[in-house]
Amino acid sequence: MTNSAPLQLPYRQPWHWQQFHSHFALRRLAGVELLEARRYTRSFRLGARSGWLSVRPLDEVAALELTLSPSCADLAPQLAEQVRRMFDLDSDPATIAAHLGRDPQLAALLARAPGLRLPMAFDPFEQAVRAIVGQQVAVKAAVTITGRLVQRLGEPLAETAHGESLWLFPSPAALADDPLEGIGMPGKRVATLRRFAAAVASGDLQLSVADGVETLVERLCALPGIGPWTAEYIALRAFGEADAFPTADLGLLKAPLWGLGGIAPRELAARAEAWRPWRAYAAVYLWHNYASE
């Protein structure tokens, strides 16, 4: 089995590798993801297939280089499209900036960090699990707990990536069937996670925005233990929905932009109406403001 030729995935500038590196560095899931200074690698499932993908920025052209595990070379077109979404390579930063820049306070953030994109998860189920685990806990704690799920229920990937062994994220059925005792979450959140995984495993819940993001949010919120913040965050991170906006997110409410007292959720929601249809990108800038000051 020979390695497939790397693919080049072009993008419109500006696009910043460091933004994505920082995003992954905070959330990297040991065993599933590998992160180097100039490379991101992860395992994946695609239907009944599994393998790994690796991405690195190129210096000579405005493009990312995508390398796939040898067994998945035939999946290159589908994987390239998914990686393009994951790294938000098809957005038009000029159009987004022109719209969001009408808000004077956002305009200042745009000027300081032009061209920020919307990092998106490779796998919607994995991202949804991360969001549920992350309810009311810090990102670092959520990564630790999710890592325990991988250690307990993940499957080893047959192919190594750059000499490293990788694991596949647990399947919906595996999470639904395990009692998840001693995993480090409150009982109610364990029940929420297992109920969600069972709904996905049975096909009762379709993780898709084919019927619109509002429909997905309604379906998610119909499950006990999943509220608007979790549902909107899943829409934003799992599907790259450009107008998803988790209004109750602490980072959005406490961004230094609003001053020492922050901003109330109702006031933020009202203000964000003017940011449609690019509210998710406004969220990216507010999170960046929260993390960097």
Q: What is the pLDDT of residue 115?
A: 95
Q: What is the pLDDT of residue 1?
A: 46
Rg (CA), the chain: 19
Mean pLDDT computed over 104-132: 96
Contacts of 181 (CB under 8 A, 6+ apart): none
- Check whether 276 has a pLDDT greater than 90: yes
Q: Give the predicted TM-score (pTM) of the model.
A: 0.94
Residue of 92, 103, 211, 249 marked active site: 249
The yes-or-no answer on residue 249 being catalytic is: yes
Q: What does the pLDDT look like over 18-66, one tens digit per residue?
A: 999 999 999 999 999 999 999 999 999 999 999 999 999 999 999 999 9
Domains in the chain (CATH in brackets) are 124-154+170-286 (1.10.340.30)
Mean pLDDT computed over 154-172: 96
Q: What is the pLDDT of residue 165?
A: 96
